[in-house]
Chain A
Amino acid sequence: MPEFTGPVQHVELSTTLWLIALLPLLGSVTNAIFGRRLQKSHFGHDLAHKLHIGSLGVTLVAVGAMLAAFALSLWHVAKLLALPEAHRFLFCHAWEMVRIGSVDFGFDFALDPLSSVMILIITGVGTLIHVYAAAYMHHDGAYWRFFAYLNLFVFSMLLLVLGDGFMVMFFGWEGVGLCSYLLIGFWYDDYAKASAGMKAFVTNRVGDWGFVTGLMLLFWALGGAWLEGGSYQPDNLPRLAAVAVESGEAEHGGHEAGGEHGAVTAKAHDADGDDAVGHHAKAAHPQGNGTFDFTVLPGAKVYVDGALAGISPLTGKSLHAGRHTLRVVPGGGTDDLEIPSFSVEAGGETMVSLIGPALSFRSLHDQLVVRDAAGHHTVREGLQSKKAWGGVGVITLACLCLFLGATGKSAQIPLFVWLPDAMAGPTPVSALIHAATMVTAGVYMIARLSWLFALSPVASGVVALVGALTALFAATIGLYQYDIKKVLAYSTVSQLGFMFIGVGVGAYWAGVFHLMTHAFFKACLFLGSGSVIHGMHAVVHGEAAAQDMRKMGGLKRVMPITSRTYFVACLAITAAPFPLFAGFWSKDEILWRAFTTENIALVPGALIYAIGLAAAACTSFYMWRSYYLTFEGEHALPKIATEVHESPAAITWVLVVLAALSTVAGVLFGFSTHLLGGHGEPMLEEWLSPVLQHAVVSFREGGLGLEYALMALSVGLAIASWALAKKRYGAGRPADWAAREEGLPLFDAIQHKYWVDEAYGAAIIGPILKLRLVLADLDKWAIDGIVNGAGVVGRAAAWTSGAIDHHLVDGAVNFVADRTFAAGERLRTVQTGRIQSYLYGLVGGVLFFACLGYFLGR
């Protein structure tokens, strides 16, 4: 009997996967090194001018890299499609960075259905936005720098989603943060913009702290437990275990395979030829043989029965049935790992898993789903039973910490404050980074770790509740904004909240679905607003004025394509009234799942549903408000009619494509025959099920009628909001609409974003600044006490005021530094330059060590 049985992840090897991420990196490096020269050169000058884009060379490099990456992504997804469902996992070991014990920080990439959705969005929408940016940024002097950053961002984002473990993901996680900072502050001459970049960066550090803490908690918890009194006792040392593979369907649909474990269903693919699992194993292996996979610890040498079987990862190795021994030499001077004896069954498949602390998602996942010989999920049960300090479940704590990381990156309460400010960056950046891709990283992470979050109803409840509150909160702030990009920014925060509702209540696929549709329609909206701003620059000066909706109006007549695409995207995001548009499908699925969920603790699903519904109604209102104020009615400035023109083709075509995607993606991926009374599943849910099936979740049976009723309710509310918006801001809006708004209740609070920034300033930033002063005083006092010299006092005072002027909390640092310098000065006097004193040092050294041994040792 193998030690363990379970539906562990099959792996197909791929050698080309890393190229997807590499291409944008190459583009970025090329533009970083040669971009300035390319831009100065006159290469393709006429063509570029004709297309209204910037330097042709730079554009070709950047967009070419993106196109190639997109094509390569499509090719890999096609490869994935060709595989049987349980095998849809491409794995690529690029290189090993460092190994400590059994934990390896390898550059390993993986592509499964979940990350395939992500890379298609990143490279697909990314390519469109690159094309758009070529036109949008064409006047900018640092055109090349912009594209170097933008490509670098795509590279980081691809690392984030393609990483096979926390390590690579974290590289990407930090990389996108860095690129976001660089791009928000792209026009760094403007102090406000540079500081908006800084705000995003600092806020994200708080989230990153949570991310790393959660990671460490999980890591430690897998390897040991905290005893009474706080000491840590390792109980699950890293080791290898042979697992008999069982087909992925066993736990499908979230059913605990509680009773079935007796029959080790290492699916026999011997005689009948009907095997969904071992397609690759079959032809090569005659009867009496089983297959053996070793895919953990990539790069390690694998010896089976003393003979070198290959270098990990290796799959589909044929072994005759019976007992074998395994020894693994990971290299790098670490100790060998071994399994003294394991068995392979005829026609069965045995895979080696790593049990114990791990950083690879696959290793984590595999050890949580395997069952030992007695049928227990040993590792999972062990993990679930562990309590951290204060009796909180470790899983819950770890999930909450990881979620804190997600709130930072995905702009949720309490860390959402940076995203609206991030709109200081160029509009393509807002579309790509702050709407379509980077901000969804948190959602992606939770979906990626679905099997972990599903184990903690409390953490899931918190995720859903925070998501719902953020959705409503941000939607209400969006109600009365005048800056068109701010409206969209709060809308993004709100929509991200919907995604978190989805992943919180257990409908992981719905969260990812909304992520996808949102990427389409929000990119379209942002780019539309960008097109408007681009046009408005002809009549107003300054960034703020060009984005102010009070100065627009009636743009429909001068920018027909932009207005039409914006209209379509508004239909998509407001999910009404035609259920044809993308947002309806994803948002409605999320709300329905929230209503029927059984996976969350702390809050009832119906409450989440109610909050979500209110947020959806607000969404409909502010989106239509922005549409009407911008495109309908009279021109606010008379010059608009003559001087504002439709944007160039590179911009409008991108808008059209995105609008089309916003229209069809919903039906295409989200429609199921279930709605017509059948039993089909939406296409995306089916596609994602191999990844998400091990998350143990369940939903109440609501009945088709109830589902239709709720659907009608949300559509009805959305239409009502639309009607209200149209009445207030539509083509025939009263001239004093702005003044009327100000009289509404809560207007003041909403205009000031509920004073959240001010509250943070008073509660956190202020005290830190005060602490700085206290520290500086303390410091001054310490120096005074020590030195007592008038000159030093003066110096310390001057130095203190300098610290107050320029630095944050560096008083303590300077103190240490000063002491260090002083010690260095003193030490330097020993080096007199006299050979006699050197020789005294030599003899003294001998004497010192002689005495050291004599008195201390022996």
Chain B
Amino acid sequence: MAVDLTLVSFFALAALTLVSGAVVAFSRNIIHATVALLGCFLGIAGLYVQLSADFLAAVQVLVYVGGTLTLILFAVMLTARIEDVRTSNTSTGLPVGVALVAALLLVLGKVATTTAWPETPRAPMPSTAKLGHALLGDYLLPFELGSILLLAAMIGAVVLARRAVKRNWEKA
């Protein structure tokens, strides 16, 4: 009996995502965490492929793995004294957190496995054209709203960042 390759690859990707995610969350070394984030993003890109979202997967790789992560790495590297980060706010009540999340997962898992999810046939693979039509047709408004969100986020970032710049300059 042939092993369902789809299933195997799903579990592999899920494991990659989760384990990298765990490293991001728990690693004390910020370089390790950043590199592990790469694995997490890649795993998610793989899951997108599995869900027939080819364009989305490509964007995930290009934007997050290629752009965002590189930027984060640079930022981390350029930061002075990354080795001895002083944790002023130690994780407290970890058992409580684990217990809560575990209980929540239990409930979610129970419901997820007992629900008869409606099934839809898998969409044809090149989804780019459909996505394009959607973004400039039915979903034009969310598309524009997304751009406003990004603009606002950018302005916000500038506002906050300039503070630090100004402060350094003033000190000088």
Chain A interfacial positions (CB closer than 8 Å to B): 834-837, 839-840, 843-844, 846-847, 850-851, 854
Give the CA-CA distance A846 to B101 in the complex, in Å.
10
Is the C-beta of B103 less than 8 angstroms from some C-beta in chain A? yes
Q: Chain B, 88-100, contact with A by CB distance < 8 Å: what is the 0/1 string?
A: 0101110011001
Give the CA-CA distance A780 to B127 in the complex, in Å.
76
Give the CA-CA distance A837 to B92 in the complex, in Å.
8
Could you say which of B91, B101, B107 contacts A836, with CB atoms under 8 Å apart?
B91
Report A-chain residues with C-beta under 8 Å of the C-beta of B104. 843, 846-847, 850
Report A-chain residues with C-beta under 8 Å of the C-beta of B93. 836-837, 840
Q: List 26 A-B contacts (CB under 8 A).
A: A834-B89, A834-B92, A835-B89, A836-B89, A836-B91, A836-B92, A836-B93, A836-B97, A837-B92, A837-B93, A839-B97, A840-B93, A840-B97, A843-B97, A843-B100, A843-B101, A843-B104, A846-B104, A847-B100, A847-B104, A847-B107, A850-B104, A850-B107, A850-B108, A851-B107, A854-B107
Given A836-B89, A837-B93, A840-B100, 5 more pairs with CB closer than 8 A: A843-B97, A843-B100, A843-B104, A847-B100, A847-B107
> What is the interface residue range for chain B against chain A?
10 to 19
Report B-chain residues with C-beta under 8 Å of the C-beta of A847. 100, 103-104, 107
Give the CA-CA distance A389 to B89 in the complex, in Å.
67
The chain B residue with its CB closest to the CB of A832 is B92
**A840, B96: Cβ atoms closer than 8 Å:** yes
CB distance from B38 to the nearest CB of A (A): 25
CB distance from A741 to the nearest CB of B (A): 87
Give the CA-CA distance A835 to B90 in the complex, in Å.
11
Give the CA-CA distance A135 to B92 in the complex, in Å.
78
Q: Chain B, 144-159, contact with A by CB distance < 8 Å: what is the 0/1 string?
A: 0000000000000000
CB distance from A697 to the nearest CB of B (A): 75
The chain B residue with its CB closest to the CB of A842 is B100
Give the CA-CA distance A840 to B93 in the complex, in Å.
9
Give the CA-CA distance A854 to B109 in the complex, in Å.
13
CB distance from B77 to the nearest CB of A (A): 26
Give the CA-CA distance A840 to B89 in the complex, in Å.
15
The chain A residue with its CB closest to the CB of B110 is A854
CB distance from B88 to the nearest CB of A (A): 11
CB distance from B42 to the nearest CB of A (A): 27
Give the CA-CA distance A846 to B100 in the complex, in Å.
10
Report A-chain residues with C-beta under 8 Å of the C-beta of B108. 850
The chain B residue with its CB closest to the CB of A835 is B89
- Contacting A at CB under 8 A, from B129-156, are none
CB distance from B115 to the nearest CB of A (A): 13
Give the CA-CA distance A837 to B100 in the complex, in Å.
11
Give the CA-CA distance A524 to B2 in the complex, in Å.
116
Report B-chain residues with C-beta under 8 Å of the C-beta of A837. 92-93
Give the CA-CA distance A840 to B97 in the complex, in Å.
6
The chain A residue with its CB closest to the CB of B92 is A836
Give the CA-CA distance A837 to B96 in the complex, in Å.
9
CB distance from B114 to the nearest CB of A (A): 12
Give the CA-CA distance A836 to B101 in the complex, in Å.
13
CB distance from A841 to the nearest CB of B (A): 10
State whether A844 and B89 are in contact (beta carbons under 8 Å apart), knowing that A850-B107, A851-B107, A854-B107 are contacts in the complex: no
CB distance from B162 to the nearest CB of A (A): 26
Give the CA-CA distance A847 to B104 in the complex, in Å.
6
CB distance from A549 to the nearest CB of B (A): 83
Report B-chain residues with C-beta under 8 Å of the C-beta of A844. 100
Report B-chain residues with C-beta under 8 Å of the C-beta of A854. 107
Give the CA-CA distance A266 to B96 in the complex, in Å.
82
Report A-chain residues with C-beta under 8 Å of the C-beta of B107. 847, 850-851, 854
Give the CA-CA distance A854 to B108 in the complex, in Å.
11
Q: Chain B, 61-91, contact with A by CB distance < 8 Å: what is the 0/1 string?
A: 0000000000000000000000000000101
CB distance from B167 to the nearest CB of A (A): 24
Give the CA-CA distance A837 to B93 in the complex, in Å.
8
Report A-chain residues with C-beta under 8 Å of the C-beta of B97. 836, 839-840, 843
CB distance from A829 to the nearest CB of B (A): 14
Give the CA-CA distance A839 to B96 in the complex, in Å.
11
Give the CA-CA distance A119 to B107 in the complex, in Å.
73
CB distance from B12 to the nearest CB of A (A): 28
Give the CA-CA distance A840 to B104 in the complex, in Å.
11
Give the CA-CA distance A785 to B114 in the complex, in Å.
52
Scoring B93, B100, B104, B107 by chain A CB atoms within 10 A of each residue's CB, the highest score goes to B100
> 3 tightest CB-CB pairs across the interface, nearest first?
A843-B100, A847-B104, A850-B107
CB distance from A392 to the nearest CB of B (A): 59
Report A-chain residues with C-beta under 8 Å of the C-beta of B100. 840, 843-844, 847
Give the CA-CA distance A836 to B91 in the complex, in Å.
7
Give the CA-CA distance A836 to B103 in the complex, in Å.
17
Give the CA-CA distance A654 to B98 in the complex, in Å.
88
CB distance from B14 to the nearest CB of A (A): 21
Give the CA-CA distance A279 to B104 in the complex, in Å.
79
Report A-chain residues with C-beta under 8 Å of the C-beta of B103. 847
CB distance from A526 to the nearest CB of B (A): 74
CB distance from A675 to the nearest CB of B (A): 90
Give the CA-CA distance A836 to B89 in the complex, in Å.
9
The chain B residue with its CB closest to the CB of A854 is B107
CB distance from B116 to the nearest CB of A (A): 16
CB distance from A27 to the nearest CB of B (A): 56
Give the CA-CA distance A835 to B89 in the complex, in Å.
9
Give the CA-CA distance A854 to B91 in the complex, in Å.
31
Report B-chain residues with C-beta under 8 Å of the C-beta of A839. 97
The chain B residue with its CB closest to the CB of A837 is B93
Give the CA-CA distance A839 to B108 in the complex, in Å.
18
The chain B residue with its CB closest to the CB of A839 is B97
Give the CA-CA distance A185 to B169 in the complex, in Å.
68
Report A-chain residues with C-beta under 8 Å of the C-beta of B96. 840
Give the CA-CA distance A835 to B97 in the complex, in Å.
12
Give the CA-CA distance A490 to B7 in the complex, in Å.
101
Give the CA-CA distance A851 to B89 in the complex, in Å.
31
The chain B residue with its CB closest to the CB of A836 is B92
The chain B residue with its CB closest to the CB of A846 is B104
Report B-chain residues with C-beta under 8 Å of the C-beta of A834. 89, 92
The chain A residue with its CB closest to the CB of B103 is A847
Report B-chain residues with C-beta under 8 Å of the C-beta of A851. 107
CB distance from A833 to the nearest CB of B (A): 10
CB distance from A846 to the nearest CB of B (A): 6
Give the CA-CA distance A448 to B51 in the complex, in Å.
81
CB distance from B112 to the nearest CB of A (A): 12
CB distance from B111 to the nearest CB of A (A): 8
Give the CA-CA distance A355 to B159 in the complex, in Å.
66
Give the CA-CA distance A775 to B88 in the complex, in Å.
51
Give the CA-CA distance A843 to B101 in the complex, in Å.
7
The chain A residue with its CB closest to the CB of B97 is A840
Give the CA-CA distance A758 to B92 in the complex, in Å.
68
Give the CA-CA distance A608 to B91 in the complex, in Å.
88
Report B-chain residues with C-beta under 8 Å of the C-beta of A846. 104
Give the CA-CA distance A854 to B107 in the complex, in Å.
9
Give the CA-CA distance A767 to B108 in the complex, in Å.
62
Give the CA-CA distance A387 to B105 in the complex, in Å.
62
Give the CA-CA distance A837 to B101 in the complex, in Å.
13
Give the CA-CA distance A851 to B110 in the complex, in Å.
12
Give the CA-CA distance A835 to B101 in the complex, in Å.
16
Give the CA-CA distance A436 to B15 in the complex, in Å.
92
CB distance from A41 to the nearest CB of B (A): 55
Scoring A846, A847, A851 by chain B CB atoms within 10 A of each residue's CB, the highest score goes to A847
Give the CA-CA distance A803 to B9 in the complex, in Å.
76
Report A-chain residues with C-beta under 8 Å of the C-beta of B89. 834-836
Give the CA-CA distance A847 to B89 in the complex, in Å.
25
Give the CA-CA distance A843 to B100 in the complex, in Å.
7
Report B-chain residues with C-beta under 8 Å of the C-beta of A843. 97, 100-101, 104
Give the CA-CA distance A844 to B100 in the complex, in Å.
6
Give the CA-CA distance A834 to B90 in the complex, in Å.
10
CB distance from B97 to the nearest CB of A (A): 6
CB distance from B87 to the nearest CB of A (A): 12
The chain B residue with its CB closest to the CB of A834 is B92
CB distance from A844 to the nearest CB of B (A): 5
